[in-house]
Amino acid sequence: MGHRHHHGRSHGHSDNGENGSEHGRFVETADALADEVTSRRVWIAVGVCAVVTLVGLLVLWPRGDVDSTLDASELFGDRVEAIITGGTEQPCSYDPLAGCHRVMFQLLTGDNARTNSSWEFSSESSTRHFDDGDEIFVFETTLADGSITYEFDDFQRSTPLVLLALIFVVAVLLLARWKGLGAIGGLVASLLVLTVFMLPSLLRGNSALAVALVGSSLIAFIALYLAHGINIATSVALLSTFASLAVIGLLSWVFVAASNFTGFTEDSSFVLSALGVQIDARGLLLAGIVIGSLGVLDDVTVTQVSAVWELRQLQPDASRREIYTSAVNIGRDHISSTVNTLFLTYAGAALPLMLLFAVAGRSISAVSTSEVVATEIVRSLVGSIGLVASVPISTWLAARVLTVRKPSAMIDG
């Protein structure tokens, strides 16, 4: 390089074009070396995250039986399918002066399949409406004297849900095609991770926050690489997602503890406690915050990396600072809408409870500091802070990695 420099100085006027050509080749060589080094660092970081995830998966993998002092069937009874065959209005068996609606049904599954039975409920207090042919689930309980009682559990909704899922799949495939197929594969993988690993691991008493972080990491690996391919850009989005998840996990741990949340804000928590399942309700709350934030984080980090990528191709001579500034401006618009969406999602979940407090005449301060509502506030704010942090994190990392690559190399890669 020193020889070239000297040659350029002594023949600067006569060999200017040749020197410029050599300088251009040198810059290209430097860019290629920088690209190779930077890419290697990214892949090493991804490999380390993959190893940590696999180790966590092995350590936290569910083993043995669920530690429960009570069988769920002892609390609820056996859940069986049935179909409504009719209904009549008649005096209640427990109060002849009161009116009751008796529902007749036929069992479709269980030891007593094809037999008919019924139950009654007050005509004034119930808001449920049953039509002939409705498919339902009932709890079948055998009493000490050998008699069998039935209690309504829920409607059978598999048919409309399957139909809606098919419409969703067709819509995604029509618009996104092969990428849509990868996204659907990631969704299926996420459900498998949740049901095969995370839920069983939580039921066996493992740390809820650790399970959430390992499970979220595994989901991120599968979902991002399936949807966007195994390349440097996806890897940058993946590392940015992990960094943002770490921020969310830390903030969740600090403020859930500082707010003295117990985690017992839903009926399911009390039911698990009644069944004697050894589970940390506060840890479960932390896990829910982390998992709930993952999907939105993926969206933000992928968008920011894609923005840097597109800006680099449109402005190949722009500096890292210029590309970073432009991409962050895009991120600001994205975050302003995403944060509001996240807040409204959590507010919608707590809306019935807030209405109940409003009817009771509770002040806004009393409502917002109650554990049920305060939990949603912390969940929303922590998730929003993580989203805000993900914009500069993903944009900075993408600018560091992708701007050293030539646009043609990025397209081919």
Please report the pLDDT score of residue 60 as a whole number: 92
- Mean pLDDT, to the nearest integer, of 89-112? 84
Distances (CA, A) of 383 to 2, 287, 291, 339, 389: 53, 12, 10, 8, 10
Please report the pLDDT score of residue 346 as a whole number: 65
Residue 270 has pLDDT above 70, yes or no: no
**Percent over 90 (pLDDT), the chain:** 14
Please report the pLDDT score of residue 68 as a whole number: 54
- Tokens 């914009």 map to which residue? 391
Euclidean distance between CA atoms 40 and 27, whole angstroms: 20
If DSSP codes are grouped into helix, strand and coil, which group holds residue 86?
strand
Supply the pTM of this predicted model.
Answer: 0.71
pLDDT digits (tens, 9 = 90+) for 335-376: 777 777 766 766 676 676 667 666 666 666 766 677 777 787
Residue 214 has pLDDT above 90, yes or no: yes
Please report the pLDDT score of residue 33 as a whole number: 35
More confident residue, 6 or 163: 163
DSSP 93: S
Residue 193 CB partners (closer than 8 Å, separation 6+): 215, 218, 219, 222
Residue 126 has pLDDT above 70, yes or no: no
Answer yes or no: are the C-beta atoms of 216 and 194 closer than 8 Å: no
Helix 371-402 to helix 232-258 angle, to the nearest 10 degrees?
150
If DSSP codes are grouped into helix, strand and coil, which group holds residue 260?
coil
Please report the pLDDT score of residue 238 as a whole number: 93
Euclidean distance between CA atoms 141 and 46, whole angstroms: 52
Burial of 52 (0-12, 13-18, 19+ CB in 10 A): middle
- Mean pLDDT, to the nearest integer, of 2-29? 41
Residue 221 has pLDDT above 90, yes or no: yes
pLDDT, mean over the chain: 77
Please report the pLDDT score of residue 71 as a whole number: 54
Please report the pLDDT score of residue 49 as a whole number: 94
Please report the pLDDT score of residue 144 as a whole number: 79
Report residue 6's pLDDT band, with 50, 70 and 90 as the boundaries.
very low
pLDDT digits (tens, 9 = 90+) for 60-83: 998 877 655 555 555 556 888 999
pLDDT digits (tens, 9 = 90+) for 172-189: 888 877 778 888 888 888
Residue 413 has pLDDT above 60, yes or no: no
Please report the pLDDT score of residue 387 as a whole number: 86
More confident residue, 413 or 183: 183
More confident residue, 271 or 117: 117
Q: What fold characterizes domain 74-155?
A: OB fold (Dihydrolipoamide Acetyltransferase, E2P) (2.40.50)
Residue 140 has pLDDT above 90, yes or no: no
Euclidean distance between CA atoms 202 and 219, whole angstroms: 17
Q: Name the phi and psi angles at 108, rounded to 5.
A: -105, -25
Euclidean distance between CA atoms 379 and 362, whole angstroms: 22
Residue 37 has pLDDT above 60, yes or no: yes
Answer yes or no: are the C-beta atoms of 76 and 137 closer than 8 Å: no
And the tokens for 201? Answer: 């691991």
Report residue 316's pLDDT band, with 50, 70 and 90 as the boundaries.
confident
Report residue 127's pLDDT band, with 50, 70 and 90 as the boundaries.
low
DSSP string, 1-60: -HHHHHHHHHTTTTTHHHHHHHHHHHHHHHHHHHHHHHHHHHHHHHHHHHHHHHHHHHHH
Please report the pLDDT score of residue 47 as a whole number: 94
pLDDT digits (tens, 9 = 90+) for 187-207: 888 889 988 998 888 878 788
- Mean pLDDT, to the nearest integer, of 302-331? 84
Answer yes or no: are the C-beta atoms of 281 and 264 closer than 8 Å: yes
Please report the pLDDT score of residue 17 as a whole number: 44
- Identify residue 358 by its one-letter amino acid code: A
Ordered by start, the domain boundaries in the chain are 33-65+177-412, 74-155
Report residue 52's pLDDT band, with 50, 70 and 90 as the boundaries.
very high
Residue 14 has pLDDT above 50, yes or no: no
- Mean pLDDT, to the nearest integer, of 29-47? 68
